[in-house]
Amino acid sequence: MRLPSPTLCLLPFLFLTLLQRPTFASIKPYVVYFGGHSHGPKPSSLDANLAKDSHYEFLGSFLGSREFAEDAIFYSYTRHINGFAATLEDEVAAEIAKHPRVVSVFLNQGRKQHTTHSWSFLGLEKDGVVPSSSIWKKARFGEDTIIGNLDTGVWPESESFSDEGLGPIPSKWNGTCQNGHDPGFHCNRKLIGARYFNKGYASIVGHLNSSFDTPRDEDGHGSHTLSTAGGSFVAGASVFYMGNGTAKGGSPKARVAAYKVCYPPVDGEECFDADILAAFDAAISDGVDVLSVSLGGNPTAFFNDSVAIGSFHAVKHGIVVICSAGNSGPVDGTVSNVAPWEITVGASTMDREFPSYVVLGNKISIKGESLSAKALPRNKFFPLMSAADARATNASVENALLCKDGSLDPEKAKGKILVCLRGINARVDKGQQAALAGAVGMVLANNKDAGNEILADPHVLPVSHINYTSGVAIFKYINSTEYPVAYITHPVTRIGTKPAPVVAAFSSKGPNTVTPEILKPDITAPGVSVIAAFTKAQGPTNQDFDTRRVLFNSISGTSMSCPHVSGIVGLLKTLHPTWSPASIKSAIMTTGESICKLSELWFIPYSFKSRKFILDLDCSYLIPLSSVFPELHSDGTR
């Protein structure tokens, strides 16, 4: 009898093996949120261990064993926020969400960061002198209030974090200086604490090397925001000798703590939910009085929003939480961080600018702004050219006009002042591309969407940033002149410009898309060309090509306006230590000056309780239509 072939004998075995082999479903990092803990406001190590055990047991009941749960969980929130972060299959996450103990389950998603004279502009000092009526003196400069900051960390060597003249660390402080693998990182009596949280980031990008295990600020954003809120007095602060003055935070004698939750961007996202929740949980236990949060994402339901959840637990413990509104304006409904227990801050201008003029060959002078360190020869005209006319052979006209990488022909651009259009790529990168192509200067002209918003940036060549109307005028001059020429004046510092304040075009606007009946943002503060401390790990443009280093930098964004309010909150906490977060929020909102303008650009109709109103998207006021347009009845009809 013939024996069956070995191959035929193996087929049933292989078939069974394939049936038994597990299929690998999609595994993603999730946050599972239970609400609060049953233990008291000051949990012991036993309480924390019991909470962690309960998380392992809970997840183990879904995964089949406690061991699987321990492998999956990378954060267990055991202090004040009750929950955990774990890598889970989508189907498991969906099953967990059905459990009656669970409040919410959401993906560990990313969020973005939202960045001297400002305190004088706000009236806390005048001509460098602090009047006796200033809240600075009344509140002892925020003495011993503790301000925490969730951001990119801190550059501890900055003079803004010097502890000169400060007494012992307040006894209420329970935090630590977690320097990880950075032995050169030190705290002091000013910078009393620092922590880093990167497991949520690692769950997205993969294994991190030891260089990530430090609260040191490699970006500059966190040092800037923390020093704006609570930085010490530093004389002679400037950016390339412009804006010279004494840098200081809103609460210069406060103690500060850094919570690093933001890292190099992944698909544009820098700060991840799991890390943000861990930082909130730690900061509450550490004993901060104020938390400044200059980051955010798209508006989402509060139970799926790490900032909303974290700030809710912080406010429960008497901590005031201040958040940036976002930089997605002037589009309607873009405001983020909209929970009612947060103070949400938009950005506005102050009365300081850095004018740089474009003088055309027809003697017309056009005002722009810049912080360029380099200058053109005084009163020397150079050929003026649209960047589109300097197009490289293989580049599109659109890319050349935007001064994108590789779009400019050096033979055409050399020795010229190029006019580049704002949009798509970074403003400072356009200047770098112009410089690489041999241009001697650049005029950065706004597109129609950017309108009148101009920003002073530390460009690498002489630049003037002009508004849309001025840009149209310059292109018209180029197209109507046989030999167009121009020169760019070196920027100077000018104080007392009017009108000010004006809401920045980039500042995100309402209405609140999560809970429309709660108006957001709550208030605005200086957020344009704010000078504050910076890192030495980056150049002032945060671009790889920039090898310059500065002690202070000028940045714009609601990230910069947020810590202004955090500094004011620090003063109020010193002056009125028993006031609740709601009382402090009320005091700030009801005493701030209105900068609202009755312009169709900033108002939309809004119905509430059968009456029609105009909703002021900048200042969050409800104004009856009949008070703006007297010909209308209270119901909005003519």
The residues annotated as belonging to the active site are 151, 221, 559
User: What would the 3-class secondary structure string for 556-592 be?
Assistant: CCHHHHHHHHHHHHHHHHHHCCCCCHHHHHHHHHHHC
Q: Find tokens 């409904």 and name the residue.
A: 333
Amino acid, single-letter form, for residue 604 = I
Q: What is the DSSP-derived secondary structure letter of residue 594?
A: P
If one counts every other C-beta atom within 10 angstroms of the C-beta of residue 115, the result is 30
Q: Are 219 and 535 in contact (CB under 8 A)?
A: yes
- Angstrom CA distances, 67 to 32, 61, 71, 277, 433, stand at 18, 11, 6, 24, 54
Closest to 79 measured CA to CA, from 314, 258, 318: 314
Q: Are 442 and 418 in contact (CB under 8 A)?
A: yes
Residue 504 β-bridge partners: none
Q: Are 633 and 525 in contact (CB under 8 A)?
A: no
CA distance 580 to 591: 17
Could you tell me whether strands 81-89 and 73-77 are parallel, antiparallel, or unpaired per DSSP bridges?
Answer: antiparallel
Cα Rg of the chain (Å, integer):
28
CA distance 341 to 343: 7
**DSSP-assigned states of every residue in 10-69:** HHHHHHHHHHHSPP---EEEEEEEEEE-SS-SS--HHHHHHHHHHHHHHHHHHHSSHHHH
* Enclosing H/E stretch for 6: helix 6-20
Closest to 311 measured CA to CA, from 279, 272, 269: 279
Q: Which two tokens stand for residue 240?
A: 């390339």
CA distance 526 to 224: 14
Q: Are 195 and 260 in contact (CB under 8 A)?
A: yes
Q: Which two tokens stand for residue 269?
A: 């996202």
End-to-end CA gap in the chain: 104
Give 257's contacts (C-beta < 8 A, 6+ positions apart): 146, 147, 148, 149, 175, 191, 192, 193, 194, 195, 283, 286, 288
CA distance 364 to 360: 5
Q: Are 116 and 237 in contact (CB under 8 A)?
A: yes
CA distance 116 to 243: 8
